[in-house]
Structure 1
Amino acid sequence: MTARTKRFSQLPARSRASIIVGAIVQFILQGAALRDIKRRPAAQIKGPKPLWVGLSFVNYFGPIAYFVFGRKGSGY
């Protein structure tokens, strides 16, 4: 390890908490996107479902992109 590298346990409590909260938010976004992709008919999704499943694994960007750009209008 270099002098600049720290283990998770060596980080300040606030930094550790931020990392944990960020990870939880990422998992919630990804889970919601994957659940929506699975339940939504392919006709209501812009592009192929497998593409959006793969993109949902890109941190934050993928799930948010799916919800913003991947779903067709619901007619409201």
Structure 2
Amino acid sequence: MAGRKKWSDLTREQRTAVVVAGAVELVLTSIALRDLARRDADEVRGPKLLWRASFAVQPFGPVAYLLLGRRAT
């Protein structure tokens, strides 16, 4: 894997971007999980278990749930 960089190879700006992106993903996933856990099944479009599994696909799963998975209450 010639194209793979080590953490020490990254510039300070690149390291900051990685940390910020990771923090944003963590916050989005936490918000989505909390919202999903508090909603009744009839307030969610599709099976809750499937949405929970989709959160593993970062950052698309949590964003998709927050934008598309919730029914208006």
Superposed CA RMSD in Å reads 1.2
Structure 1 or 2, whichever has the larger Rg, is 1
Give 2:17's aligned residue: 18
C-alpha distance in 1 between matches for 2:63 and 2:7:
27
Deviation at 1:56, TM superposition (A): 1.3
Q: Structure 1 runs of 4+ off > 4 angstroms?
A: none
Q: How does 1:1-76 map to 2 (within 5 A)?
A: 2=2, 4-74=3-73
C-alpha distance in 1 between matches for 2:39 and 2:53:
16
For 1:13, the aligned partner's letter is: R
The alignment's TM-score, normalised by the length of structure 1, stands at: 0.88
C-alpha distance in 2 between matches for 1:41 and 1:5:
43
How many residues are matched? 73
The alignment's TM-score, normalised by the length of structure 2, stands at: 0.91
C-alpha distance in 2 between matches for 1:28 and 1:37:
14
- Cα deviation code 1:11-59 (max 9, x no counterpart): 1000000000000000110111111111111110011100000111211
